[in-house]
Chain A
């Protein structure tokens, strides 16, 4: 099937059959890269602390590396949230859960919080009342960056602050407590380091990189693929787009529409699945005009 082929004359059932055939070719592929990425990224970030404290590398270099580390910390967990590494009951299920739990430690985002709220995002994408990520909606790129920062303020209602409400609605007080523990430990470590004479290190290896990373992640993983985010439904709630930073620079999000349609396709297979599925998406009237 060529990416420009016209399938608009096909029936709903035929389009669905073809879409499932394409998806089946990409599902159940083991995401080696995500697994290696999860552990090596965390290891590098952890190694930065002794390396900077012992003066092996300068703090400014540690800051740059830490910023990239924390930016890169979400996606392996995202693969785990969708059971892409291993489904429940599978032999490597422990690895799926390990990646999920460990990779977002620098981001101070518990795996359970990420998984529950992300599943709700898939279920209710662009619903102002039920989509946990709806607060990232904004009119343009600069507004999206501002919104991300604003949502992180102590008494803001959006961003991670909105996740507490979602968890409360779902009766997951246990997960709220895990989240509280993460926050207490995170700020406890920052404060302890600061009063021990390592405030600059704490600020530049964790606090500031985390805020930069959260802004970047919310921009490319939440705002850009859903913008303008006015419509709901399987073929309407997300899109493909051309990122200034390219597909790698946007962490593979240019093909986010594939992820929403078939969340168990690994991130590294979404570009290929997109080009194979493009005529079907076109026939469905999806927003794919940029790519």
Chain B
């Protein structure tokens, strides 16, 4: 259990990027009525943006 919790916290930025920032980005795109390029859906774009930010934050240990 302790190991699971430690893993969840260790991968926190990645989980937050995909788990929260991705759907947030997707819903912002839909709210402003923007059409993503290359035929990407809002969710795919969200996953790309959130996932990328999450990977970067995971690697750097910080978001800003």
Contacts and interface: CB of A to CB of B under 8 A. Distances in A.
Interface of A: 149-150, 153-156, 180, 183-184, 187, 190-191, 194-195, 197, 199-200, 202-203, 207
Contacts, number: 58
14 contacts: A153-B61, A154-B12, A154-B57, A154-B63, A156-B61, A187-B12, A191-B15, A194-B19, A194-B24, A195-B23, A199-B23, A199-B27, A200-B24, A202-B20
Given A191-B20, A194-B20, A194-B23, A154 B31 contact: no
A10 B23 CA distance: 66
Contacts of B26: 199
Interface residues of B, number: 22
A153 B28 contact: no
Interface in B26-47: 26-28, 31
Contacts of A180: 5, 9
B62 A156 contact: yes
Contacts of B61: 153-156
Contacts of B23: 194-195, 197, 199
A187 B19 contact: yes
Contacts of A149: 64
Given A155-B62, A156-B62, A184-B8, 19 more contacts: A149-B64, A150-B64, A153-B64, A154-B57, A154-B58, A154-B62, A156-B61, A187-B12, A187-B16, A191-B15, A194-B19, A194-B22, A194-B23, A194-B24, A197-B23, A197-B27, A199-B23, A199-B28, A202-B20
Contacts of B28: 199-200
Interface of B: 5, 8-9, 12-13, 15-16, 19-20, 22-24, 26-28, 31, 57-58, 61-64
B3 to A, nearest CB: 13
A183 B64 CA distance: 20
Contact of B62 (A153, A194, A203): A153
Nearest to B11: A154
A190 B23 CA distance: 11
Given A199-B26, A200-B27, A191 B19 contact: yes
Nearest to A177: B5
Contact of B20 (A154, A156, A197, A199): A199
A183 B20 CA distance: 14
Nearest to A188: B19
* Closest CB pairs A-B (n = 3): A155-B61, A153-B62, A194-B23
B5 A154 contact: no
B57 A207 contact: no
Nearest to A195: B23
B64 A154 contact: no
B15 to A, nearest CB: 8
Nearest to B1: A177
A176 to B, nearest CB: 10
